[in-house]
Amino acid sequence: MQEQTVQILCILGVFLSFALAELIKGRFFAPEATREDNRLDVAVTLLFPLISLAVLSASTALCAWLMPDMRGALSQWPVWKMVLVLLVADDLTQYFWHRLSHTSVMWPLHRAHHSAAYMSVRIVYRNNAFYYALMPGIWLSGMLVYLGFGWVYVGYSIVKLTVIIGAHSSVRWDQWLYRWPAMAPVAWLLERTISTPATHFAHHALVQDDGIGHYTGNYGNLLFVWDILFGTALITRRYPPAYGLADDRQHGSESWWVQFFYPVFKSRRIDTVLGTGPHTPPP
């Protein structure tokens, strides 16, 4: 079985497992979701794999053209070294990409991820198409796969997507750790190492002045360590009472195709209030 097939099947299995858990708990069909939310969630879930695979393929094709003699050159590296390189080339660069996306420069390509007034596996990949098409980490990952990181990258991506899906899921798996005193050391270590629902839900909060919301921080995807190292972390073990964007609550949701394909389709919301929303500083 080819590497990409294993990767896709495993990630799909993780996604469906969390989705099923949300269905059982009655949280998959969020009452806050609008018609545009439902359409955007479906479109992104279907199209994200195509976009990411296209970027990975383009990256490896460029490598084959620019350095044909380097295919598989690093395949003999030990696994631990490959993982360290992936954590920097993919996860650390994504931390800074995400952080940049909360400035007026990049906010239009990330706004769709925060326009949902709910948390769920449905919004894991919910971003503008160009947000992923331009993401440095995906391009660098394609290069590393070309250099011989193949199966290690597959394992790494499965672990990473499991953490990210779990951090968005309304199942809130970390609550179980907080309830049991015996699990306190595990909870303390986990919430400072990887993204958890409590820390990532804070990033999606509607407001930031209640001591829980923290949308100007908690940017980590796989590792929360980056937020701790760069001073953007907030750990409260509490969950915000509301999510989404204030301007959407005032004016209503934008059309799903505008959110997903901007700037191909113009947005009166972004074009008129760019940089003045609650998640971005004035330009």
pLDDT at residue 253 in the model: 86
Q: Name beta bridge partners: 223.
A: 194
Residue 50: burial class (beta carbons within 10 Å; 0-12, 13-18, 19+): exposed
pLDDT at residue 280 in the model: 47
Nearest CA to 230 out of 135, 97, 96, 101 is that of: 96
Q: DSSP letter at 204?
A: T
Q: Where are the beta strands (DSSP E) in the chain?
A: none
Nearest CA to 132 out of 48, 70, 190, 192 is that of: 48
Yes or no: say if 151 and 3 are a contact pair by the CB < 8 Å rule: yes
Answer whether 0.95 is exceeded by the pTM: no
26 alpha carbon, distance to own chain's centre: 23
Yes or no: say if 37 and 252 are a contact pair by the CB < 8 Å rule: no
Residue 176: burial class (beta carbons within 10 Å; 0-12, 13-18, 19+): exposed
pLDDT at residue 3 in the model: 82
- Amino acid occupying residue 21: A
pLDDT at residue 143 in the model: 97
Residue with the two structure tokens 């709910």: 118
For 18, phi and psi rounded to 5 degrees?
-65, -40
For residue 69, give Cα distances in angstroms to 15, 66, 85, 148, 193.
37, 9, 21, 12, 38
DSSP one-letter string for 92-121: IHHHHHHHHTTSTTTHHHHHHHH--SS-SG
Residues with Cβ within 8 Å of 131's Cβ and at least 6 positions away in sequence, in order, are 101, 106, 109, 110, 113
Residues with Cβ within 8 Å of 23's Cβ and at least 6 positions away in sequence, in order, are none
pLDDT tens over the chain, length 283 residues: 588 888 889 999 999 999 999 999 999 999 999 999 999 999 999 999 899 999 999 999 999 999 999 999 999 999 999 999 999 999 999 999 999 999 988 999 999 999 999 999 999 999 999 999 999 999 999 999 999 999 999 999 999 999 999 999 999 999 999 999 899 999 999 999 999 999 999 999 999 989 999 999 999 999 999 999 999 999 999 999 999 999 888 888 889 999 999 999 888 766 544 444 444 433 3
pLDDT at residue 267 in the model: 80
CA 64/CA 54 separation, integer angstroms: 15
CA 228/CA 110 separation, integer angstroms: 22
